[in-house]
């Protein structure tokens, strides 16, 4: 196993937090036939509901008003099955981060946003709020509003929201959670104040996936644990381990780092060569694909052979023309061992409806080992 990059010694205050299993649930999937009651809450500690959106008055509103009330009611019922389960309303995401900069801009806008989050959370029975700002200062969807001061304003927004959640907690005696989903590259570190955020939030969900995809020139791994050796360097050679070390060096406490695991893969078509069994070759076409579809259509297909990279610790499938990068029980076991060895805060995954049960079983089983 490659040796992880050294990081400055820091006290690890919590060991039990490594057992967190945080699953995002995409609310729109109910329109595709997914019943929220299919969620196996026995294997989860937290569910993040994706997504609420921000309106022009800096308040959060339902993202999918046609489906959200039914989904929210189901989540409340699921909590009766497992009272210790925590549900959070996730705000923003890739599609709906365009107004975050405005919401964070002034003391008044931050207060309006925070109060609306608390009211929404209480009305619909959530236990906390998860901010998915993709991304402060730069990046994200093309219609995002961006400002250099987003870096400091994000911290101020979180402080305001923490204050309002604590006020609500003092009023009704119930603890409320504050988390956020964060990026995995140096630009995200530069554009946020992770040391200050680490003092405010309960934990942070690292989006340690989409490290490679069909925007790259060559086939590559969606979420490698460690960076693999490559004969040429035509695209960024990133990994979960590199991300974790970045976050630790930026001041985020280890026990508050929750490592993201994709329950989907990347499929590349018309791969130009069978060299390296299709890995790091040029291609023409591709898209993301759920693990459920991978299991149903490809794992049982004898024309596809499974490979496992000894450094990256992730598998792939190749049939001579199509390359599929994904996570499976073996790679999840490696990642959970890493989380526990580093004293990190648990695992998160995107997202619940993309699994056939195999990956969540593997994740929960590895956490218990």
Enzyme catalytic residues? 134
Sort 318 into a burial class: Cβ within 10 Å, 0-12 / 13-18 / 19+. Answer: buried
Assigned token pair, 200: 């405010």
Instruction: Give the C-alpha separation, 166 to 173, whole Å.
Output: 10
Q: How far separated are the first and last CA of the chain, in Å rounded?
A: 20
Query: Could you tell me which of 153, 149, 88, 96 has the C-alpha nearest to residue 121?
Result: 88
* Token pair listed for 273: 């060569």
Contact indicator for 51, 27 with CB cutoff of 8 Å? yes
Count CA within 13 A, CB hemisphere, residue 278: 24
CA pair distance 351, 16, nearest whole angstrom: 24
Helix (H, G, I), strand (E, B) or coil at 335: helix
- Cα(268)–Cα(319) distance, rounded to whole angstroms? 11
Q: What are phi and psi of 93, to 5 degrees?
A: 80, -175
- Rounded Cα distance between 207 and 231, Å, is 27
Q: Angle formed by the axes of helices 150-172 and 107-124, to 10°? A: 40
> CB count, 10 Å around CB of 176?
24
**Between helices 240-249 and 329-341, what is the axis angle to 10°?**
20
User: Up-side HSE of residue 13: CA atoms within 13 Å toward CB?
Assistant: 5
């Amino acid at each position: 196993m490659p040796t992880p990059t050294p990081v400055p010694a820091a006290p690890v205050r919590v060991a039990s937090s490594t057992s967190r299993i945080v699953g995002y649930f995409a609310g729109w999937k109910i329109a595709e036939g997914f019943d929220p009651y299919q969620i196996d809450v026995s294997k989860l500690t937290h569910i993040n509901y994706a997504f609420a959106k921000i309106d022009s008055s800096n308040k959060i509103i339902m993202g999918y008003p046609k489906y959200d009330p039914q989904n929210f009611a189901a989540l409340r019922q699921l909590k009766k099955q497992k009272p210790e389960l925590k549900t959070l309303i996730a705000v923003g995401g890739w599609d709906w981060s365009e107004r975050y900069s405005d919401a964070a801009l002034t003391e008044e806008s931050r207060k309006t946003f925070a109060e609306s989050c608390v009211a929404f959370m209480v009305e619909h029975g959530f236990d906390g709020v998860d901010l998915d700002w993709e991304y402060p200062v730069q990046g994200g969807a093309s219609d995002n509003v961006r400002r250099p001061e987003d870096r400091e304003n994000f911290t101020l927004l979180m402080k305001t929201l923490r204050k309002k959640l604590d006020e609500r907690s003092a009023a009704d005696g119930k603890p409320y959670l504050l988390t956020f989903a964060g990026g995995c590259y140096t630009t995200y570190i530069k554009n946020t104040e992770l040391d200050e955020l680490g003092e405010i939030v309960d934990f942070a969900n690292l989006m340690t996936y989409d490290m490679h995809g069909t925007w790259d020139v060559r086939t590559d791994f969606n979420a490698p644990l460690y960076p693999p050796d490559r004969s040429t360097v035509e695209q960024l050679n990133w990994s979960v381990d590199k991300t974790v070390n970045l976050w630790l060096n930026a001041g985020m406490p280890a026990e508050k780092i929750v490592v993201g695991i994709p329950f989907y893969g990347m499929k590349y078509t018309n791969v130009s060569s069978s060299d390296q069994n299709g890995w790091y070759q040029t291609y023409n076409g591709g898209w993301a694909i759920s693990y459920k579809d991978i299991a149903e259509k490809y794992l049982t297909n004898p024309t596809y052979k499974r490979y496992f990279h000894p450094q990256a610790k992730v598998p792939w499938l190749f049939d001579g023309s199509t390359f599929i990068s994904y996570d499976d029980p073996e790679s999840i076991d490696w990642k959970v061992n890493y989380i526990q060895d580093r004293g990190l805060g648990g695992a998160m995954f995107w997202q619940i409806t993309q699994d056939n049960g195999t990956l969540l079983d593997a994740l929960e089983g590895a956490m218990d080992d």
